[in-house]
Amino acid sequence: MKRKKLPITNIGTVTLLMVFIVLCMITFAALSLSSASRDAEMGQKAVRRITEYYTASNKAEELLATADNMFSSAYSQASDSSEYYRLIQKELLLTSITPVWTGDTLDAAFQVEINDSQSLSVHLDILPLQQVRETDTNAFYKILSWQVIRTDTWEGDDTLQLIR
């Protein structure tokens, strides 16, 4: 009686297919783990940046509240524009707000540090005494700019990180 031989290729094909599927699953698992790790890292950086910005923004708002008090005090004491601006400039010099003369009017500017490389820069246009009296809204200034600026120099990085 002739013995029937089983083809070896059938057993090997199934085994090779299973090894290939397992390798594919391991590769996709590693890629998704790497992607999730990077996404978590980016999320933490975004939270840190947002927290730093709003902390600096709160400090700027506190400086604006201080400026409001100074402007209100000068408004109640001044009889004309020159005295109004003189009183404001005198008070501003005692704070971290810098008075800036632009022609006949007075502006104010200050910066609040966000982190080592950025600051929040605020520029105010102090309204003239007559305009404050005419509007009667207790608005002593207009915010001309409220922007994030870089405080360090940019250094290009031409290295390429291929493997993490």
User: What is the full DSSP assignment across 58-76?
Assistant: HHHHHHHHHHHHHHHHHHH
- pLDDT band at residue 146 using 50, 70 and 90 as cut-offs: very high
Q: With bands split at pLDDT 50, 70 and 90, how would you rate the model's confidence at 9?
A: low
pLDDT of residue 35: 96
Beta bridge partners, 145, equal: 123
The reported pLDDT for the residue numbered 10 is: 59
Q: Measured between alpha carbons, how far is 50 from 137 in angstroms, rounded to an integer?
A: 32
| Tens digit of each residue's pLDDT (9 = 90 or more) over 54-106 | 999 999 999 999 999 998 888 888 888 888 888 988 888 888 899 988 888 88
Mean pLDDT across the chain, nearest whole number?
Answer: 88
How does residue 128 score in pLDDT terms, banded at 50, 70 and 90? confident
Residue type, 59: K
Q: Whole-angstrom Cα distance, residue 16 to residue 19?
A: 5
Residue 129: name the closest of 92, 76, 68, 67 by CA: 76
Q: Which residues lie below 8 Å from residue 102, measured CB to CB, with a gap of 6+?
A: none
pLDDT at residue number 75: 87
Q: In this predicted model, what pLDDT tens digit does every residue of 40-52 receive, in sequence order?
A: 999 999 999 999 9
